[in-house]
Structure 1
Amino acid sequence: MSRHPWVLATALAETKKPASDKSAETAPSNDEPAAGAPEANRISQQVDLLDHDGNWIARGLANPASRLRLRLYSFSRDQPIDDAFFAQRIDEAVARRRLARSTDHTGVQESGSKLAEMGERLIFSESDRLSGLIVDRYADCLSVQFTAAALLPRGKFLIDQVLNACEKHGTPCRRVIARMDPATAKHEGVAADQVAEVESWSRGISPAANGSDAATDDSSPMVWYRHNDLKMGIDLRDGQKTGGYLDQQANHAEAARYMAGKRVLDICTYTGGFALAAAKAGASEVIGVDSSEKALEMARQNAEANSLSQVRFEKADCFDHLKNCAGRGETFDAVVLDPPRFAGSRRQVDAALRAYARLNMSAVDLLPPGGILVTCSCSGHVSRADFLNMLVDVGRKRQRDIVILQSRGPSPDHPCAVSCPESDYLKCVIAQVH
């Protein structure tokens, strides 16, 4: 047994109630579905997984409405999945970040006040043995994202436990925004009224905020936090993922070390992560490109908040912009590529690799000999080996030598569970092109 936390519906012979032996029995909590409830409502039913010979394997929570039928949380037969179980797992996850955050990316010890202003991932679903729960902290605000319907009956309890753990480990939070995105809700069989209930668990965040109040209203979904050496703002309600891309935080800082004095093009800049870091590090000119005007407006606010005048942002399709730059004969000393996920499933890997190759070839065309290429992939189904082989093909087709300076992953607050290879998803390659 690999201890992978997912069991697909196609892998099950049949779904049964938890085993009746005493070691598997647990006292139902108040938020568990009542016995005899309709099958469609028995999300969060505790289930024991047995092999074909009846041998006990693991214990998890079932969702009869999801293709991902069973999420496994315990591989110990004597361990019930109850409130105490989740409270302990949450505490362990937040404590784990204190190990990773004992020093910053320069190796300098961080003070408590400095840590409290930062952004960090506190719970990373499968990597923290809490499949279906993602929690990011932006200064004093928690952004909680549920990706498993099986956790919703305990949703408010889980949020309370995260707040308790934050207080215990030195980063108290007073605001919470809770979310479940529409695509996830559809896959998990969660109705619109249930999604609205999840959103109602938010605390200290106004139900709506207009643009003029977003930067000053303490209850708005707009929050400011310290991102490396930058003051960064994000929209917790309408932003992508949990609002920002904390997984790239260390890569923003590391890539910026190569950007001093350079003309930089940042493709798929979102709210300006790589672009602003490059400008802060002394790049002579930075152009950030994204297809979302809303994201670019946030990027412009971030640039202004940090007094970075040598960076500007343009709305465009990434492929079209690279093509147009080549058509004008433009060159850049450095090009950053941080596109959205191209492969959402294994069936899409080949198409994703073709898209990555096309994007990287267009970027290489804009670089003079010795230019810097920072290229990323957040597609978990695209392996690091496949991504590097794609770069080999790019170099061959463009007759350029690509020398890898660093091959990186996500920030330390995004650990990888070896039993769940999908958690090893982010690739960030810093290379020199000749």
Structure 2
Amino acid sequence: MSADLQPATDSASQSGQPVARVVLKPKKALPFYGRHPWVLAGAVDRVEPTTLAGEHLVAVDGQVVDLCNEKGKFIARGMYNSHSRIRVRLFTWREDELLDTEFFRRRLCAAIAMRQQLGYEVTPQQIAAGLSRSETATRMVFSEADGLSGLVIDRYGDYLVLQPTSLAMQLRAEMLVSILQQELQPRAIILRGEKTSMQLEGMEATPDRHWGELPETPIVIRENGIAYEVDLREGQKTGFYLDQRDNRAVAARYLQGRKVLDLFCYTGGFALNAAKLGAAEVIGIDGSKKAIAQAERNAEINGLPVKFEVGDGFQTLDQMAAENRRFEAIVLDPPKFARSRSGVNAALQAYHRLNRSAVTLLSPGGILVTNSCSGTVTPEDFRLMLSGVAQKTGRDIQLLEQRGAAADHPVAATCLETEYLKCFICRVA
């Protein structure tokens, strides 16, 4: 590092101006001309400091940089992190657009307006007319799909949960909170870290923070006519899995009159929807004692007869097979098995084992609702895995519906990794 290079100043960060150029290796620029937002470490040749306000600056983690091809021609503008496999997260392909406070305000307002247009979010006019958002829940910002790579925001009633999954967004938390307070006037905003993302980004673990007055007890939201208690302080992810909203309702229609096993049930989403629509018997199992306690509470407040148990998903299937148990429907909604392409083969092996075990417990004509939230596992990968399960078990598997996340979790056409959720509803002959 040259002696006259200095770290980027706070004023440079707030201005949104680039403090360096990230130059790509030859023949690595095509994906970024195609507007893919992730520049991986292997594509970067070098980082060159630029001159800003008369000071020589060097790119520092979390700061704004320009992405250039090997000839130094501008491609896009984003945020840099030397500790992450994703070296640069791209935000704009306009050289005249700065990544300042007003940029983030425009992006956040656009994301909010889209949810209002889809009917997930009430408008200010509707609130003024007396409509309430107190028991509704919405994903307000979905990272790359909303042009805000590394940021997730969920709204639960009058509260917002902000989850930065990149260093750049963590460093801008105060600015983001200020904008959200102005635009949505929530009762409180909770900033929650996600351990794995923080490790991948080289971010220091910090205590959760909040602005405003937090509820002392879990709040209640309603989804598909079912009430759920959500712990904004300690629930998994941001507190609830909103992405499965529509899939839970659709799957329940196939489960009517059936004996249902819901594995990795968390706080009971699929199980409670099945019971509400007339499943004959529902058993929900999850490895978290706290999740099961909340699932039991949710069943109680809805008056739904679901039996919940604590147990490991794989071990439970093995034990039930040994006991010759049978079900007419099984729901599999496991946690993420792969976080990068290098882990896909191991993940597919785990999905194969899980689904193969489930198929052996299904009666002929049974329904299998099988899910994957691993973004690096493609829908085609998942279909091929099910094909292998059919071959190994000698059972015909008929794909009835292939679904994804709810519409407040849109898929970016230029970042297909946002198509992370796969929900296949199958009939097993």
- Shorter chain as normaliser: what TM range? 0.7 to 0.9
Residue 186 of structure 1 corresponds to 199
Residue 157 of structure 1 corresponds to 175
Deviation per residue, 1:286-305 (Å, 9 max, x gap): 10011111111111111111
Residue 107 of structure 1 corresponds to none
1:143 and 2:161 aligned: yes
Residue 251 of structure 1 corresponds to 247
| Shift, 1:37, TM fit | 8.0
Q: Quickly say closer, same or farther: Cα 1:112–1:315, change in 2 above 3 A.
A: farther
Alignment partners' CA distance in 1, 2:164 and 2:49 = 24
Deviation per residue, 1:319-374 (Å, 9 max, x gap): 11111112222111110000111112111111111111111111111111111110
Name which of 394, 411, 423 aligns with 1:428: 423
Secondary structure, counterpart of 1:277 in structure 2: helix
Residue 320 of structure 1 corresponds to 315
Alignment partners' CA distance in 2, 1:132 and 1:390 = 30
Tell me if structure 1 keeps the 8 A contact 2:141–2:151: yes
Alignment partners' CA distance in 2, 1:279 and 1:35 = 65
Deviation per residue, 1:98-156 (Å, 9 max, x gap): 2222699xxxxxx9736542111000011100011100111111111011111233211
| Shift, 1:421, TM fit | 1.4
Secondary structure, counterpart of 2:427 in structure 1: strand
Residue 223 of structure 2 corresponds to 227
Residue 214 of structure 1 corresponds to none
| Shift, 1:78, TM fit | 1.0
Alignment partners' CA distance in 1, 2:394 and 2:267 = 34
Residue 37 of structure 2 corresponds to 5
Tell me if structure 2 keeps the 8 A contact 1:185–1:191: yes
Alignment partners' CA distance in 1, 2:130 and 2:344 = 43
Structure 2 residue runs of 5 or longer lacking an equivalent are: 1-32, 123-128
Deviation per residue, 1:239-296 (Å, 9 max, x gap): 2211111111110111011122211100000111101111111112110011111111
Tell me if structure 1 keeps the 8 A contact 2:192–2:209: no
Identity of aligned residues (%): 45
Name which of 361, 364, 376 aligns with 1:366: 361
| Shift, 1:159, TM fit | 1.8
Residue 126 of structure 1 corresponds to 144
Tell me if structure 2 keeps the 8 A contact 1:156–1:201: no
- Moved beyond 6 Å, runs of 4+: 34-39
Tell me if structure 2 keeps the 8 A contact 1:94–1:165: no
Residue 215 of structure 1 corresponds to none
Which amino acid in 1 is paired with 2:246? A
1:391 and 2:391 aligned: no
Q: Quickly say closer, same or farther: Cα 1:103–1:180, change in 2 above 3 A.
A: closer
Alignment TM-score, normalising by the size of structure 1: 0.85
Secondary structure, counterpart of 1:370 in structure 2: strand
Tell me if structure 1 keeps the 8 A contact 2:49–2:56: no
Which amino acid in 2 is paired with 1:59? R
Secondary structure, counterpart of 2:321 in structure 1: helix
Q: Quickly say closer, same or farther: Cα 1:112–1:339, change in 2 above 3 A.
A: farther
Residue 212 of structure 2 corresponds to 203
Residue 110 of structure 2 corresponds to 92
Deviation per residue, 1:153-194 (Å, 9 max, x gap): 321121222333335xxxxx21221111233222222224xx
Q: Quickly say closer, same or farther: Cα 1:50–1:240, change in 2 above 3 A.
A: same
Which amino acid in 1 is paired with 2:293? E
Which amino acid in 2 is paired with 1:3? R
Name which of 251, 267, 272 aligns with 1:271: 267
Alignment partners' CA distance in 1, 2:390 and 2:70 = 50
Residue 298 of structure 1 corresponds to 294
Which amino acid in 1 is paired with 2:216? S
Alignment RMSD: 2.2
Tell me if structure 2 keeps the 8 A contact 1:139–1:226: no
Alignment partners' CA distance in 1, 2:141 and 2:130 = 20
User: Matched residue pairs, number?
Assistant: 391
Q: Quickly say closer, same or farther: Cα 1:419–1:305, change in 2 above 3 A.
A: same
Alignment partners' CA distance in 1, 2:181 and 2:114 = 15
1:68 and 2:77 aligned: no
Alignment partners' CA distance in 2, 1:389 and 1:64 = 36
Secondary structure, counterpart of 2:327 in structure 1: coil
Alignment TM-score, normalising by the size of structure 2: 0.86
Tell me if structure 2 keeps the 8 A contact 1:94–1:166: no
Q: Quickly say closer, same or farther: Cα 1:112–1:243, change in 2 above 3 A.
A: farther
Tell me if structure 2 keeps the 8 A contact 1:16–1:47: no
Deviation per residue, 1:57-90 (Å, 9 max, x gap): 0011222333322111110111111110000000
